[in-house]
């Protein structure tokens, strides 16, 4: 008779939880999983997927405007926000059904309800208790709201995906990837957008050239971006909402969207009572094997606040399953993880920023180009592309690739393979470009930027 009800019990049926549970089950493990909302998690239901659908919708505004330069006469286009939201919700329902089927087909038993750990091997869901040899925390994260007067009038990205009507004026507080993505969506759909960024620009932590170029492009599209500013209070007014800023100004808005960070969903899980260590933000502290201070309890994905990307959560969970259920010890390698920001224009990046490379490599060579993409020679749009390579001078190895412009995420995915393989600048130079494309610029950049690069970038 088995000592436990399950070999593995997972808390959270998002991307990481589902991936790890299915992989473990495929190796013969008895797996249970608990979800308190809907199967699919943040990425599928409240993040990457619905947001990308809204980004696609917003891009049609540019496409209609650019068509005239290519000889098209397009009748006046009309946009209907409720139709988009209804179609988006229909797609999310479809994906939710696919995830449910994947769990069922894998033999993973789903428990619907809020789960809480009772002891290192026992989980309680809705009054029922189950036991497991190992427990995996994959509960994700949630948007944070600051404690300022009137914050109850603000919304987060969760609500922004389900607005009943398109606002006329939006104030977006924050300058990270969620903030710039929604700023691009709303602006393209005709909303008057103002961003309040606490730092000196957008995308803090990204390469400085990416930050500067995207800031310029966003402002060029008509988005008002107030740097080193913040909201200090929000008031309900006869016309909508009034936002008081750190600078003492008053901004009028129909919605105030906060995108100032996320926190792990770990509260109320019973972790601390069992000796699982959490940091000040509530993130589960784990080692390189995703193991917590309690040997039977593991954690992956945004609940650990290590590298909050969906493919990373999936990779961490699969590494856990390989290690424990396939006799294939595996630790996730966090180097060279590519990422994208689906702003307008989008950003793609992999490897080290220039600043990071100068700290870790010492001497570096920087190659950078800015140009008007071929498409806009006829459309007349002023949008420009920025591409950049960061090279370790001693080894000639390319340690960073960065791009702002159309198709950046698609192009950077290929660059990520090159960096993972340790490609050198000489090998980039020896690669034949595909002409005419923007991507070919990554293999045709020959002129190094002069020193000091940091001053030139500013």
Q: What is the set of active-site residues? A: 435
**How many angstroms from the chain centroid is the CA of residue 47?**
8
Separation of alpha carbons 30 and 286, rounded Å: 24
Distance (Å) of CA 279 to CA 88, 137, 275, 283, 306: 36, 15, 13, 5, 11
Separation of alpha carbons 253 and 167, rounded Å: 8
Say if residues 134 and 29 touch (Cβ distance below 8 Å).
Answer: no
Q: In terms of Cα–Cα distance, which of 421, 283, 451, 290 is closest to 350?
A: 421
Residue with the two structure tokens 């200090």? 232
What's 213's DSSP letter?
H
Neighbouring C-beta atoms of residue 375, cutoff 10 Å? 14
Separation of alpha carbons 4 and 307, rounded Å: 32
Give the bridge partners for 9, in sequence order: 32, 135
Q: Kindly compute the dihedral angle of the four CA atoms of residues 194, 198, 204, 208, in this order, to the nearest 10 degrees.
A: 80
Q: Kindly compute the dihedral angle of the four CA atoms of residues 254, 255, 256, 257, in this order, to the nearest 10 degrees.
A: -150
Separation of alpha carbons 354 and 449, rounded Å: 12
Q: Is 456 helix (H, G, I), strand (E, B) or coil?
A: helix
Q: In terms of Cα–Cα distance, which of 379, 409, 137 is closest to 274?
A: 137
DSSP string across 77-128: P---HHHHHHHHHHHHHHHHHHHHHHHHHHTPEEEES-EEEEETTEEEETTE
Say if residues 224 and 191 touch (Cβ distance below 8 Å).
Answer: no
Please count the residues of the chain.
458
Separation of alpha carbons 59 and 184, rounded Å: 9
């Amino acid at each position: 008779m088995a000592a436990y009800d399950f070999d593995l019990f997972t808390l959270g049926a998002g991307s990481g939880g589902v991936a790890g549970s299915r992989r473990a089950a495929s190796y013969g493990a008895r797996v249970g999983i608990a979800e308190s909302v809907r199967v699919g998690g943040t990425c599928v239901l409240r993040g990457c997927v619905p947001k990308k659908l809204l980004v696609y919708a917003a891009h049609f505004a540019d496409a209609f405007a650019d068509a005239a330069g290519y000889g098209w006469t397009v009748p006046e286009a009309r946009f209907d926000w409720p139709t988009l939201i209804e179609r988006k919700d229909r797609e999310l329902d479809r994906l939710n059904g696919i995830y449910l089927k994947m769990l069922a087909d894998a033999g993973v038993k789903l428990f619907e309800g809020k789960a809480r750990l009772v002891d290192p091997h026992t989980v309680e869901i809705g009054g029922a208790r189950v036991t497991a040899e190992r427990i995996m925390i994959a509960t994700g994260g949630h948007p944070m709201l600051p404690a300022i007067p009137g914050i109850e009038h603000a919304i987060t990205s969760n609500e922004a995906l389900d607005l009943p009507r398109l606002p006329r004026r939006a104030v977006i507080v924050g300058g990270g990837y969620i903030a710039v993505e929604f700023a691009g969506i709303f602006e393209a759909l005709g909303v008057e957008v103002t961003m309040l960024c606490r730092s000196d620009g957008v995308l803090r932590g990204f390469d400085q050239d990416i930050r500067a170029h995207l800031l310029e492009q966003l402002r060029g599209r008509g988005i008002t971006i107030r740097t080193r500013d913040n909201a200090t209070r929000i008031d309900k007014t006869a016309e909508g909402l009034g936002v008081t800023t750190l600078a003492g100004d008053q901004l009028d808005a129909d919605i105030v969207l906060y995108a100032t960070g996320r926190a792990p969903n770990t509260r109320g899980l019973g972790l601390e009572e069992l000796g699982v260590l959490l940091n000040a933000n509530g993130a589960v502290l784990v080692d390189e094997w995703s193991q917590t201070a309690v040997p039977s309890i593991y954690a992956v994905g945004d609940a650990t606040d290590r590298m909050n990307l969906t493919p990373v959560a999936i990779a961490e969970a699969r590494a856990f399953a390989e290690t424990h259920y396939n006799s294939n010890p595996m630790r996730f390698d966090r180097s060279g993880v590519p990422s994208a920001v689906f702003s307008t224009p989008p950003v793609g990046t992999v490897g080290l920023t220039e600043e990071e490379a100068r700290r870790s490599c010492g001497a570096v060579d920087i190659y950078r180009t800015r140009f008007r993409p071929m498409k806009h020679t006829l459309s007349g749009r002023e949008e420009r592309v920025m591409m950049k390579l960061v090279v370790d001078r001693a080894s000639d190895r390319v340690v960073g690739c960065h791009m702002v412009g159309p198709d950046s995420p698609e192009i950077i995915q290929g660059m990520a393979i090159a960096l993972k393989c340790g490609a050198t600048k000489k090998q980039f130079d020896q690669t034949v470009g595909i002409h005419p494309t923007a991507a070919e610029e990554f293999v045709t950049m020959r002129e190094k930027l002069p020193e000091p690069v940091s001053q030139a970038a500013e």
